[in-house]
Chain A
Amino acid sequence: MKLELQGITKVFGSLVANDHIDLVVEPGEIHALLGENGAGKSTLMNVLYGLYDPDDGQILLDGSPATFKGPGDAVSAGIGMVHQHFMLVPVFTVAESVALGYEPTGAGGVLRLEEARRRVREISDRFGFQVDPDARIEDLPVGVQQRVEIIKALSRDAQVLILDEPTAVLTPQETDELIRIMRELKESGTSIVFITHKLREVRAIADRITVIRRGTVVGEASPTSTETELASLMVGRSVSLTVDKEPAQPGEATFEVENLSVVAPNGTVLVDDISFDVRAGEILCVAGVQGNGQTELAEVILGIEEPDSGSVRLDGEDLLGKGVKERLRSGIGFVPEDRSTDGVVSSFSIAENLVLDLYDTQPFARGVSMSPAKVTANAEQRTEEFDVRYTSVHDPISTLSGGNAQKVVLAREMSRPLRLLVASQPTRGLDVGSIEFVHRRVVAERDRGTPVIIVSTELDEVLGLADRIAVMYRGRIVGIVDAKGEDGAPVNRDVLGLMMAGVPLEDAQRQAAEHHSVLGAADLGDDGPRPAAEGETRHTSAEGETRHTSAPASTEERP
């Protein structure tokens, strides 16, 4: 089915989310929609999926206009969508999930689950999904849950499949598997609209790339463009994808974690007996797919979560048993993973958010009485220093963009003299400009001699920032590797990817030498001296080849 969007416009108040966007998706093509967060990609797809009414423009299916009053219309017209956050009921089985919404019924309205099971098996076999129709959703790994979503869309005869940031929750190997599936679907004639802001993936699989910036189409690009070209198109100016930093000058190990374990009330081991240290003036990146214990580790360091065993020491003194307030004030800077939940109070003003931790200390308060003038003065100074763009420091922080809000959090956490900086996902959801800024600040803090822990799920960020990398998988540290080997060459990203799937370091190195991932292949022919482009040295035989590393992906199946 050929899909055409003509002049789609969607306005929210004074914000023009989509400004006369034209898009043509040919049958059987993988069309990437590339743009930064906030560029209007999701809005456009929500219009296409019938969730929003466009203010102007029309949708053409095979040349004839179509209007969608809701997702139901879109689905029956052959459009399927896999949301970034899956729409699955955790206690349902795969077959029940797929049946949900179009339940096949027999006489008297009895649900014919067998029919749904058959559909799941049929689609699963056809595309090699390896999904058991009777498995419960909550027991499935994320990558498989995503396949269930795809099956769901396909079972309704979707001819155009929209994938909204599908790789955000996947390991690199699961991403490879997804890419394989996307190719299979393409072979069978399904068109795919692939929404992302990850340049590497776009180059690996897209047939055509449409770049959106601030609600308008700024251009089409071919998959052969370099990442730097794509990034510049996406951001609207030339960008540097590298993190400029001097080699670390690490000192003593001032922060030590020993045999740390965290067990959830239900008995699940969240952090499993981990030990590591961080030296003054070095950045340790904790890499891993979301939900492998990194969050809990960071929370234990801050004191929000109590460990069940182990010790955490800063400058030789035990942190456990101290309150959050005490730890913060003794010199721990903490940038939480989820800014809007843990980092800021969105209804508070920028100025108030900047003193969220020190509100009752001099000079912001005397006794119990606060001094608004001092709070304002502090805000003006900090926002200047951290280049926060705002209208007034008394505006709620929710009026700021993600990047500026994150700068506020950084400004707050770095305004105290620090003995340790812990930042979780410091650049998640930020635009390229803000990412550069945040990285520069983090490196500056390191160069001041502070031990820094960065928790990140983005391999590019890990490779760009880290001096050492600890990879976590299911609560354990799979291994700690130096970001640069003895020969000065950066660590292979395939090795890290395999470690993120739980493969021990030596095995990972061996496997990485044998196979080459799709994304690794996309590195080839790149121009820029990018820290992530190191795979090239090992990819000499992989010219144009697109084999995927099947072994780790299949170990991701149900244990």
Chain B
Amino acid sequence: MSDQTPGHTPERPDAGEEQSVAATPPGETGGPTVREQERPGVLQQILGGSALMSVLAVVLALFIGGLLIAFADEDTREAATYFFARPLDTISAGWTAMAEAYVAMFRGSVFDWQAATFAGAVKPLTESMVFAIPLILAGLGIAVGFRAGLFNIGAQGQIIVGAIVAAWLGFAFDLPPVIHLLVAILGGAIGGAVWGGIPGVLKARFGANEVIVTIMLNYIAVYLISYILKQPGFNPGRTGQRSPAVSPDATYPLLVPQWLWPDNGFRLHWGFVVAILATVFVWWLMERSTVGFQIRAVGANPAAARTAGMSVGRITVITMVVAGALAGLAATGQVLGTERSLTAGVAASFGFDAITVALLGRSRPWGTFFAGLLFGALKAGGFLMQSLTSTPIDIVLVVQSLIVLFIAAPPLVRTVFRLPDPDRRRRRKAGPGTTPQEATA
């Protein structure tokens, strides 16, 4: 323990201190059984943050993203060559570049006031929602894992497997409408659940680290989909890139049908309703069900959960299955709604963006929902920003990454905005440094 720097979390003095965990005569009794430290401290800290911190992280990320846009801008750089002669030129050029880029992004993601029709003006918002569907659903899956203390990095693989199953059920079978869709959706969820369940079982039974297993399963899923797309049944065009189109019976209907609003051009489909329903379900699951109670207990303190008679292994498996099923649902949004066939790039980077979404949403269902919407908007807006201004779309990735960075470093955001540290009075967990028991273990 070093000296106390500002922003460093000071332990609450003395209070709640126990002279617990006294040392054992080491080497003699071998010490008490070492408990697995399953609690990721960082995760706790990130999830413990407030909604305000999320908002501030976004604001800060957008601001820094804006600076980068300004620096990347031709005019700004030109003006910067004579910065010391006329500094205001540089600043105003930078400001213009930043404003233009963000205005374009807004027009591309929320409301385009320059569009010819009202439908055209509203279309960006619906596009954002389309992009948000897989982000929200997969994000919910990640969030459930976080609540159980599991770093599920495998949403990508779970999406891919879910997509394979959903697409196959969608194009290879001929079932009545509605039923066909439901079967395909269910199949996608089960596909994801199986892929998510594997690391769950491996962790529960053999103690395999879920981070490593899910990352490896992502690789397997990526090669699985390229293999499957080369199989005759999946590969009518012999390109190995795209499966047959999903039967119209098995696709999500458009949310705003043409007969209701002709020529609206919206791609938004019922997958968004599924996302809302899933959000409500996850809220119920976590806050009102006995399963969620156990998931939260295991996530917050596995030792206490075990002492209270819960089966940590069983909850780990259940959590991973639920997480995988949600990722599978995210896949259905793509193959049964947006793309309507299976492609090699079906998962894009949704599985990884979903981690960011869950972090930004603090693993709360509605937080994840709105974080998903925001990220959908960033994606949708990025396209128009790139075409209207000279700003590369990659800046969106930079902004996303900055958001995660700031969320992962709450003290940094607090310092920037001069906020007090809410952890100041948090109970001290361990004494200064480790206890001898941990040290000798």
A145 near B436 (CB under 8 angstroms)?
A: yes
A342 at interface, CB cutoff 8 A: yes
> With an 8 A cutoff between CB atoms, is B209 at the interface?
no
Q: Which chain B residue has the least Cβ–Cβ distance from A72?
A: B3
Task: Check B32 against A291 for contact (C-beta < 8 Å).
Answer: yes
Is A346 touching B14 in the complex (CB atoms < 8 A)?
A: no
B291 within 8 A of A: yes
**Do A70 and B434 touch across chains, with their CB atoms under 8 A apart?**
no
Within 8 A of A (CB), among B365-400: none
The A-contacting residues of B in range 137-189, CB under 8 angstroms, are: none
Q: Do A270 and B29 touch across chains, with their CB atoms under 8 A apart? A: yes
> Is A113 an interface residue, CB under 8 A from the partner?
no
A140 touches B26 (CB 8 A): yes
Does B303 sit at the interface, judged by CB under 8 A?
yes
A513 at the interface (CB under 8 A from B): no
With A15-B15, A90-B439, A398-B426 in contact, is A145–B30 under 8 Å at CB?
A: no
| A176 contacts the other chain (CB 8 A) | no
> Is B28 touching A429 in the complex (CB atoms < 8 A)?
no
B307/A290 in contact, CB under 8 A: no
**A398-420 interface (Cβ within 8 A of B):** 398, 401-402
Is A324 within 8 A of B309, CB to CB?
yes
Minimal beta-carbon separation of B307 from chain A (angstroms) = 4
Q: Are B296 and A291 in contact (CB under 8 A)?
A: no
Is the pair B22, A169 in contact by a Cβ cutoff of 8 Å? yes
Interface centre among A88, A266, A356, A359 (most CB of B within 10 A): A356
- Measured CB to CB, the closest approach of chain A to B303, in angstroms, equals 5
- B28 & A474 in contact (Cβ 8 Å cutoff): yes
Contacts of A50 in B (CB 8 A): 3
CA distance A356 to B437 in the complex (A): 27
A64 at the B interface (CB under 8 A): no
Q: Is B117 an interface residue (CB 8 A)?
A: no
B13 to A291, Cβ gap below 8 A?
no
Residue contact A168 to B306, C-beta cutoff 8 Å: no
A305/B23 in contact, CB under 8 A: no
A368 near B25 (CB under 8 angstroms)? no
- Give bound CA distance, A296 to B303, whole Å: 14
Note all chain A residues with C-beta closer than 8 A to B349: none
Interface string of B419-441 (1 = CB under 8 A from A): 00000111101111111110110
Cα(A341)–Cα(B303), bound, Å: 6
Contact of A83 among B31, B288, B431, B437 (CB under 8 A): B431
Q: Counting CB contacts under 8 A, is A365 at the interface?
A: yes
Please state if B308 and A356 are interface contacts (CB–CB under 8 Å).
yes
Interface hub of A43, A88, A289, A372 (most chain B Cβ within 10 A): A43
Q: Which of B22, B32, B296 meets A168, CB within 8 Å?
A: B22
Is residue B293 contacting chain A, with contact meaning CB distance below 8 A? yes
Q: B20 to chain A: which residues have CB within 8 Å?
A: 337-338, 340, 425, 428-429
Partner of A139, one of B14, B21, B27: B27
User: Which residues from chain A contact B289 at a C-beta distance below 8 Å?
Assistant: 368-370
- Interchain CB contact under 8 A, B17 and A346: no
Q: A378 interface residue, CB < 8 Å from B? A: no
CA distance A368 to B322 in the complex (A): 15
Q: Are B296 and A348 in contact (CB under 8 A)?
A: yes
- Flag if A372 contacts B288 (CB, 8 Å): yes
Beta-carbon contacts under 8 Å, B256-308 to A: 288-291, 293-294, 296-297, 300-301, 303-308
Is B19 in contact with A165, judged by CB distance below 8 angstroms? Answer: yes
Chain A CB within 10 A, most for which of B14, B305, B307, B433? B14
B434 contact set on A, CB distance < 8 A: 85
Query: Given the complex, which residues of B lie within 8 Å of A305, measured CB to CB?
Result: 33
Q: Is the CB of B309 within 8 A of A329?
A: yes
Bound CA span A355–B25, Å: 36
Query: Does chain A have a CB within 8 A of B18?
Result: yes
| CB-based contact B427/A457 at 8 Å | no
Cross-chain contact B427 with A346 (CB below 8 angstroms): yes
Contact call A342/B30, Cβ cutoff below 8 A: no
Could you say which of A42, A169, A347, A370 contacts B300, with CB atoms under 8 Å apart? A347
CB distance from A47 to the nearest CB of B (A): 9
Tell me whether A266 and B432 are in contact (CB under 8 A): no
Would you call A10 and B13 a contact (CB within 8 A)? yes
Interface status of A52 (Cβ within 8 A of chain B): yes
Are B288 and A369 within 8 A (Cβ)? yes
Report chain B residues within 8 Å CB of A341: 35, 301, 303-304
- Chain A residues contacting B430 (CB-CB under 8 Å) are 85
Contact partners of B52 in chain A: CB under 8 A: none
Contact of A429 among B17, B288, B297, B307 (CB under 8 A): B17
> Hey, which chain A residues are within 8 Å of B432, CB to CB?
46, 51, 83, 85, 87
Given A141-B25, A302-B307, A368-B290: A266 in contact with B436 (beta carbons within 8 A): no
B2 contacts partner chain A, Cβ-Cβ < 8 Å: yes
Kindly list chain A residues whose C-beta atoms are within 8 Å of the C-beta of B424: 12-13
Q: Chain B residues near A365 (CB, 8 Å)?
A: 290
Q: A14-B425, A84-B431 are in contact. Are A334 and B307 (CB under 8 A)?
A: yes
Smallest CB–CB gap between B414 and chain A, Å?
14
**A142, B24: Cβ atoms under 8 Å?**
yes
Chain A residues 72-125 with CB under 8 Å of chain B are: 83-90
Decide if B86 is an interface residue (CB 8 Å cutoff): no
Other-chain contact of B29, A41, A293, A357 (Cβ < 8 Å) = A293
Q: What is the CA–CA distance of A372 and B289 in the complex, to the nearest angstrom?
A: 10
Nearest CB in chain B to that of A375: its residue: B293
Q: B308 near A142 (CB under 8 angstroms)? A: no
Is A451's CB within 8 Å of the partner chain B?
A: no
Q: Is A191 an interface residue (CB 8 A)?
A: no
Q: Are A42 and B14 in contact (CB under 8 A)?
A: yes
Given A304-B306, A344-B304, answer yes or no on A86-B23 (Cβ-Cβ < 8 Å): yes
A542 to B4, CA, bound (A): 49
How far apart are A215's CB and chain B's nearest CB, in angstroms?
9
CB-nearest residue of chain B to A272 = B29
Q: A138-B27, A291-B32, A428-B20 are in contact. Are A370 and B290 (CB under 8 A)?
A: yes
B318 to chain A, nearest CB (A): 11
In the A-B complex, list the 3 residue pairs whose CB atoms are closest, starting with the nearest: A291-B24, A268-B30, A325-B309
| Contact sample, A vs B, 30 pairs, CB 8 Å cutoff | A10-B13, A12-B424, A13-B424, A15-B13, A37-B14, A37-B15, A37-B17, A46-B432, A51-B3, A51-B432, A83-B432, A85-B433, A90-B440, A137-B26, A142-B25, A168-B22, A290-B22, A292-B25, A339-B18, A342-B303, A344-B301, A345-B300, A346-B300, A346-B301, A347-B44, A348-B297, A402-B18, A428-B18, A474-B29, A475-B29
Given A40-B13, A292-B29, A336-B307; 8 other pairs, CB 8 A cutoff? A41-B14, A71-B3, A141-B26, A169-B23, A289-B22, A326-B309, A328-B308, A348-B296
What is A's interface to B at a CB cutoff of 8 Å? Answer: 10, 12-15, 17-18, 37-43, 46, 50-53, 69-71, 83-90, 137-142, 145, 165, 168-169, 264, 266, 268-270, 289-293, 295-296, 299, 302, 304-305, 323-329, 334, 336-348, 352, 356-357, 359-360, 365, 368-370, 372, 398, 401-402, 425, 428-429, 457, 474-475, 559
Chain B positions within 8 Å of A, measured between CB atoms, are 1-4, 10, 12-33, 35, 44, 48, 288-291, 293-294, 296-297, 300-301, 303-311, 424-427, 429-437, 439-440
